[in-house]
Amino acid sequence: MLLHEGGWRLMRADVVVSGGRIAAVGKAGERPGKGEGEKGKRTPVLVRDCSGCLVAPGLIQAHIHLCQTLFRGLADDLRLEHWLTRRIWPLEAVHTPETVYWSAMLGAAELLLGGTTAILDMETVRHTEAAFRALQRVGLRAVAGKCLMDAHPEGAPLELAESTDTALAEAESLARRWHGAAGGRLRVCFAPRFVPSCSGPLLRAASELAELFGAQLHTHAAETIVERETVLRTTGLEEIAYLDSVGISGKRAALAHCVWVDQHEMARLARQGTNVVHCPSSNLKLGSGVARVPELLEAGCRVALGADGAACNNRLDVFAEMRLAALIQKPRLGADVLPAGRVLELATLGGARALGLEDEIGSIAVGKRADLIVLDLREPHVTPAGADPASRLVYAARASDVRDVFVDGRAVVLGHELMTAAIDEIAREAGRCAAELRRAARLA
Amino acid sequence: MLLHEGGWRLMRADVVVSGGRIAAVGKAGERPGKGEGEKGKRTPVLVRDCSGCLVAPGLIQAHIHLCQTLFRGLADDLRLEHWLTRRIWPLEAVHTPETVYWSAMLGAAELLLGGTTAILDMETVRHTEAAFRALQRVGLRAVAGKCLMDAHPEGAPLELAESTDTALAEAESLARRWHGAAGGRLRVCFAPRFVPSCSGPLLRAASELAELFGAQLHTHAAETIVERETVLRTTGLEEIAYLDSVGISGKRAALAHCVWVDQHEMARLARQGTNVVHCPSSNLKLGSGVARVPELLEAGCRVALGADGAACNNRLDVFAEMRLAALIQKPRLGADVLPAGRVLELATLGGARALGLEDEIGSIAVGKRADLIVLDLREPHVTPAGADPASRLVYAARASDVRDVFVDGRAVVLGHELMTAAIDEIAREAGRCAAELRRAARLA
């Protein structure tokens, strides 16, 4: 079992789960209710033998767009601005409740099967209700929000336009319905798309709603140099300072990307405890750049990881993100920067912070939610075991090594199989919906 | 089935294999000997139903060190020079025939299970015979060579030192025994480690032996700025020019890395048809840099891909290398450079050229060797199919999607299982040998 006490430490141990939480972690065989045929006071619902496997905290991705899972492979090799105007916005504009539902099911299935147990998610402008229904069914922990955009950026289709009031009213109504649903597994975030598509009043109101509901704020920031310059031109402020001025900062806020931030902005992010979500695949694939994660950490920033969407990755694979996050800094700063253990912290403790759930998830500790993954590490690519379990997870392991996944102690994946929905149905419906969206958006 | 005709093209088709080669490729159901219960003149040994799957050419990695597979996870977060002197050389120095054998078995198993059907391999100084025995057994196509080093670089253990004559005599003896063995599946290459560990006479003699045997030359070049400067200081020539002056150039030569080459050296590489082997994970993880692959291709260079060794990657996963090769160029040159189809060519046709086997492997074509992989693409992470099969393979698919693997028409992997050796035995023996090496090299 992989425990975090200062650093990562392997212990041969059992974990006892009760009421969705970790009730005890103890040396193998010593705890009641876990031994074969043993009679503890509390009969566990499920005894799962994990001998020979590695039990790790569920991995967390703090920037995901489930609504883009159906767009996988439809928007390759384009830079962010064209990617948005030629593909993503036209496709999002034709989404229906049904396509949003299956997009979320497909993405959540991929995430769970690959060991991601919790996400911070940004949906599209409409039909977010459908995404929550999918999340409720599939069993992933999610902090999700409808995309807010009331200013109309160049190239965006009219179907995505909303008035400030309509946008806020729908976000609030979603929060009333879903914040804390499914026993607390589902939560709402307020998710302005990015500064160029949001008015100041919308951003301020989103911040106030987040405060009111005790919810997170989730947006994009400083993703490309074009965005940085646009914000500077239109607001007169650097992006991080502007976001701060409208209340999008502090521990409630998770800013995806932050590729283009200078030393002053890093200091501001650190001072206020704002969460930065590093999305290395997405930043590379869209040609946005490489976020200076070691410098952000050095400045004291809170950093998490995310795959972004399948339309710009094209995986939702936390193992791919961890490995890439570690590798891409080394040519610039040396082979010893961002070692494996540090990266694994970003995908666990860092993710928990960005979701506003640091007391609930992110490590295997008594009292925390039982979000656990079990890795079967007998295949050649993870052999021999090596000296450092974090190295094994970050540099060698892959999503397909995840055997079992528990969220709130519920088995959502067992023996590499999704327990909460039929994969065949998801694949079939997703294929059908994707074809429909392509036709409706007049792509190929 | 994925065919290459100018670009990549999907065709619904059957492939007929005879005598280890592709005898016919035709529309599904039209060819004799493939239909269920059909009686062609030639009875195929195996009829494998691949409906719903993607049949692709076997993927090729042109720079691998099988002898380092046991060092996985033992040399993380170190730059090349320390990585060599503190870990790799001490570990290579204590290799025995038994540890070299299981290191090769482990690496080859990972490679085959992940869709790599052919490699260009560099072993250590001794016991290369044992690696060939493993390769003979496991069924991977390999062009492998003993590492040649007669100059003694600072920090290398004495056990790795050999005289020029001893080194060459052993290399020649290996060539006599193994070049063309296993029905041509095994071939020998001559593999000087890198300029700083090789005398001029050794390099020249290696080039002559390669010519004599019709074999490839396999070395490292321009991996780090330190190496570049060392070669310039000791030889008075830039590295690519120096290698050329001793006969390590042209189509017979495969130079791993080439991170630190300038425009003149690129032009020289292109003019002579020298193969460059791009190893993106290794170059990032050791902090060496990012090879300018788009510029190399633009200059007309022949480029292949490779994972290098498990000690600096830590995977031997061609899917990870393809995806990374595509992604890392984009922040520097734009999101549209090195699109998926181009990268897939590096891992197929480019690899075939680097192995000196462009007429034999690298695409699905009548007359070529039947090195084929079958991908089962029904899982969520490769759904929906998208518009471009190359995008699906490069950006979304992963090694675990490989269902079947054929080398020379022989089924070496079926249903994700290695057919030629027992995985449990490999993992057990590899674990035992790795522990032995760590003890002998006095690491932790």
DSSP codes, B312-370: GSS---HHHHHHHHHHHTHHHH-TTSS-HHHHHHIIIIIHHHHTT-TTTSSS--TTSB-
Task: Nearest chain A residue to B113 by CA: give it.
Answer: A380
Cβ contact (<8 Å) for A381 and B317? Answer: yes
- Asked whether the beta carbons of A429 and A437 are under 8 A apart, the reply is no
CB contact under 8 A, A430 and B384: yes
pLDDT band at B444 (very low <50, low <70, confident <90, very high): low
Q: What is the mean pLDDT of residues A364-380?
A: 97
Joined together, the tokens standing for residue A353 give 């912070």
**Residue B104: its chain A contacts at CB < 8 A?**
none
Q: Identify the closest residue of chain B to A282 by CA–CA distance.
A: B327
**Quick one: DSSP state of residue B254?**
E
Per-residue pLDDT band at B80 (split at 50, 70, 90)? confident
Strands (E), A28-170: 53-57, 59-64, 116-122, 141-145, 147-148
Rounded CA gap, B392 and B388, in Å?
Answer: 7
Mean pLDDT confidence for B148-158:
84
- Number of Cβ within 10 Å of residue A213's Cβ equals 18
CA A68 – CA B193 distance, rounded (Å): 47
Cβ separation A380–B106 shorter than 8 A: yes
Nearest one of B397, B240, B384 to A435, comparing CA atoms? B384
Q: What are phi and psi of B8, to 5 degrees?
A: -85, 140
CB burial string A368-386: b at 16+ within 10 A, e below: bbbbbbbbbbebbbbbbbb
Q: What is the tens place of the pLDDT at every residue in B187-205?
A: 999 999 999 999 999 999 9
- Please tell me which residue, B264 or A30, carries the higher pLDDT value: B264
Q: Which among B288, B391, B426 has the least Cβ separation from residue A331?
A: B288
CA distance A31 to B286: 44
Residues 6+ apart with CB under 8 A from B256: B62, B63, B218, B219, B220, B221, B223, B277, B279, B306, B308
Residue B110 structure tokens: 């990972």
Task: Write the residue in B320, B330, B384 that is nearest to A70 by C-beta.
Answer: B384
Residues of chain A with CATH 3.20.20.140: 59-354
Greater confidence, B81 or A230? A230
B286 contacts in chain A (CB < 8 Å): 330, 335
Is the pLDDT assigned to residue B36 strictly greater than 80? no
- Cβ–Cβ under 8 Å, residues A117 and A80: no
Q: Are A37 and A44 in contact (CB under 8 A)?
A: no
The CATH number of domain A2-57+370-417, selected from 3.20.20.60, 2.30.40.10, 2.60.40.4070, 3.40.50.300? 2.30.40.10
B172-186 residue pLDDT tens = 999 999 999 999 999
Structure token pair of residue A323: 């490995």
B45 pLDDT above the threshold of 70? no
Specify the 3-state DSSP secondary structure of A439. Answer: helix
Task: Write the pLDDT tens digit of every residue in A168-191.
Answer: 999 999 999 999 999 999 999 999
Distance to chain A for B214, nearest Cα, Å = 33
Q: Which amino acid is at B64?
A: I
Q: Do A430 and B383 touch (CB under 8 A)?
A: yes
At which residue do the structure tokens 């099988």 appear? B66
What is the band of A52 on the pLDDT scale with cuts at 50, 70, 90? confident
Q: What is the pLDDT of residue B320?
A: 98
Residue B357: C-alpha distances to residues B187, B353, B368 (Å) = 10, 6, 10
Selected for mutation to probe chain B from A111, A308, A381 (highest B CB count within 10 Å) is A381
In chain A, residues with a C-beta closer than 8 Å to the C-beta of B434 are 384
pLDDT at position A39: 46
User: What confidence category does residue B34 fall into, taking pLDDT thresholds of 50, 70 and 90?
Assistant: very low
Whether B284 sits inside 8 A of A336 (CB atoms) is no
Q: How confident is the model at residue B43 (pLDDT cuts 50, 70, 90)?
A: low
Q: Do A73 and B288 touch (CB under 8 A)?
A: no
Residue A38: pLDDT above 90?
no
| pLDDT for res B28 | 64
CA B16 to chain centre: 26
Over pLDDT 90: what percentage of chain B? Answer: 88
CATH number for the segment(s) B2-56+363-418: 2.30.40.10
For domain B59-354, give its CATH number from 3.40.30.10, 3.90.550.10, 3.40.50.2300, 3.20.20.140. Answer: 3.20.20.140
Query: What pLDDT, on the 0 to 100 scale, is given for residue A161?
Result: 84
Partners of A333 on chain B (C-beta within 8 Å) are 287
Answer whether B331 sits within 8 Å of A283, measured CB to CB: yes
- In this predicted structure, which of A37-41, A103-107, B128-132 has the lowest mean pLDDT? A37-41
- pLDDT beyond 80 at A46: no
For residue A83, the distance in angstroms to the closest alpha carbon of chain B comes to 10
pLDDT bracket for residue A35 (50, 70, 90)? very low
Residues of A in contact with B388 (CB under 8 A): 73, 76
As a whole number of angstroms, the distance between CA A114 and CA B343 comes to 25
Q: Is pLDDT of A31 > 70? A: no
**Nearest residue of B to residue A417 by CA position?**
B379
Report yes or no: B106 and B70 within 8 Å, Cβ to Cβ.
yes
Left, alpha or beta for B226 (phi > 0: left; psi -120 to 50: alpha)? alpha
Residue from B257, B318, B381 whose CB has the most chain A CBs within 10 Å, to mutate: B381
Across the interface, do A391 and B317 touch by the CB < 8 Å criterion?
Answer: no
Which pLDDT score, from 0 to 100, does residue A79 have?
82
Start and end residues for every CATH 2.30.40.10 domain found in chain B: 2-56+363-418
CB < 8 Å to B444, chain A: 387
Tens digit of each residue's pLDDT (9 = 90 or more) over A53-70: 999 999 999 999 999 999
Quick check: A75 pLDDT over 70?
yes
Preceding amide of B313 cis, omega within 30: no
Which one-letter DSSP state was computed for residue A146?
A: P
Question: For residue B39, is pLDDT > 80?
Answer: no
CB contact under 8 Å between A435 and B391, yes or no, is: no
**Residue A410: which residues within 8 A CB-CB, separation 6 or more?**
A20, A139
CB-based contact A434 B384, cutoff 8 Å: yes
Element (H, E) at A189: strand A186-192
Angle between helix A318-328 and helix B318-328 axes, rounded to 10 deg: 60
Residues 6+ apart with CB under 8 A from B138: B104, B105, B108, B109, B112, B412, B418, B420, B421
Neighboring chain B residues of A114 at a CB cutoff of 8 Å: 381
| Residues of chain B with C-beta less than 8 angstroms from the C-beta of A323 | 320
**ipTM > 0.85 for the complex:** yes
Q: Which amino acid is at A298?
A: E
pLDDT in tens, B294-330: 999 999 999 999 999 999 999 999 999 999 999 999 9
Instruction: Answer yes or no: do B386 and A72 touch at CB < 8 A.
Output: yes
Q: What stretches of B204-311 adopt beta strand conformation (E)?
A: 216-221, 253-257, 275-278, 302-305
B70, B78, B424 member nearest A335 (Cβ): B78
In the beta sheet, which residues pair with residue A18? A21
Q: In sequence order, what are the beta bridge partners of B145?
A: B122
What is residue B400's predicted lDDT score, i.e. its pLDDT? 98
The whole-angstrom distance between A59's CA and the closest CA on chain B is 17
Distance CA B359, CA B362 (A): 8
